[in-house]
């Protein structure tokens, strides 16, 4: 019975955000399509591609998690034969599917576009590291949304997440390993880039894991 309800909760959330998912895939594909046209379009397409994922991140978390808590939907759901842990698992899984699936699809599409175009494959480690940051940003925002109802905390994470990418990109481009290989015909994964990507993934997983643990132990949801 509970498993059936958990599955229905996941399907319900995915149904509600289906147009957001579809829109992000279309917008991301359009951004990728213009990248091979010229150096200027490569820049515009790359920035637009990043913006698509950032916007999807914010809309999913703020709409499907924060707003649901404000509307007291959580209290109704917990009146059903479902445990706190099951509710949290359903919420995290549905939201993660809604973001990670488009993230994976668009990441693979970006790799394919770059590999089949005149854009040098040497830029791939840089691009994937930036996309890894966006995945980490999503995990942190989702974690904060699960833990607290504070608008100030939500706004802080969004502001820091949006602004910090503007520092991450020049930082990565300034690395000697990136500068040396980004115009090359093959992707070269150096130790520093691999380490940064590993830190991003570990930080995102740790933040989300901590949030799930804390939420599963909560007893007061009023």
DSSP state of 85: H
> pLDDT tens digits, residue range 183-194?
888 999 999 999
Does the residue 209 lie in any domain?
yes
The pLDDT of 72-77, averaged and rounded, is 66
Query: 92-122 pLDDT, tens per residue?
Result: 999 999 999 999 999 999 999 999 989 999 9
Task: State the pLDDT at residue 100.
Answer: 96
DSSP state of 80: S
Domain count, the chain: 1
For residue range 6-62, list pLDDT tens digits in order. 788 889 889 989 999 999 999 999 999 999 998 899 899 999 999 999 999 999 999
Percentage of the chain exceeding pLDDT 90 = 67
Residue 160 within a domain: yes
| Arithmetic mean of pLDDT, 160-165 | 94
Is 170 contained in some domain?
yes
Question: Per the domain annotation, does 222 fall within a domain?
Answer: no
Domain housing 150: 2-216
Q: What span, in angstroms and rounded, lies between the C-alpha atoms of 2 and 83?
A: 8
Q: How far is CA 55 from CA 51, 60, 128, 137, in A?
A: 6, 8, 18, 12
Give the pLDDT score at 72.
67
Round to whole Å and give the CA distance between 126 and 187. Answer: 9
Long-range contacts of 192-195 (CB under 8 A, 24+ apart): 193/125, 193/126, 193/129
Nearest to 135 by CA among 159, 167, 106: 106
Question: What's the pLDDT score for residue 88?
Answer: 81
**pLDDT on residue 165:** 94
221 domain residue, yes or no? no
Residue 162, domain member (yes or no): yes
User: What's the pLDDT score for residue 1?
Assistant: 43
Nearest to 208 by CA among 29, 65, 108: 65
């Amino acid at each position: 019975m509970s498993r059936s309800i958990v599955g229905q909760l996941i399907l319900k959330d995915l149904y509600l955000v289906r147009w957001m998912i579809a829109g992000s895939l279309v917008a991301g594909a359009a951004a990728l399509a213009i990248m091979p046209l010229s150096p200027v379009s490569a820049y515009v397409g790359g920035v637009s591609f990043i913006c698509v994922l950032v916007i999807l991140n914010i809309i999913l978390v703020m709409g499907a998690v924060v707003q649901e808590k404000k509307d007291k939907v959580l209290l109704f759901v917990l009146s059903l034969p479902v445990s706190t842990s099951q509710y949290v698992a359903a919420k995290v899984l549905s939201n993660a599917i809604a973001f990670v699936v488009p993230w994976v699809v668009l990441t693979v599409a970006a790799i394919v576009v770059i590999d089949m175009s005149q854009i040098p494959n040497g830029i791939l480690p840089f691009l994937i590291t930036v996309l890894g940051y966006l995945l980490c940003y999503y995990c942190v925002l989702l974690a904060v949304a699960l833990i607290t109802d504070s608008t100030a905390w939500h706004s802080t994470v969004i502001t820091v997440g949006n602004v910090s990418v503007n520092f991450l990109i020049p930082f990565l481009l300034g690395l000697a390993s990136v500068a040396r290989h980004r115009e090359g015909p093959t992707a070269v994964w150096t130790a520093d880039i691999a380490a940064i990507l590993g830190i991003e993934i570990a930080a995102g997983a740790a933040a989300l894991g901590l949030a799930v643990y804390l939420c599963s132990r909560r007893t007061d949801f009023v």
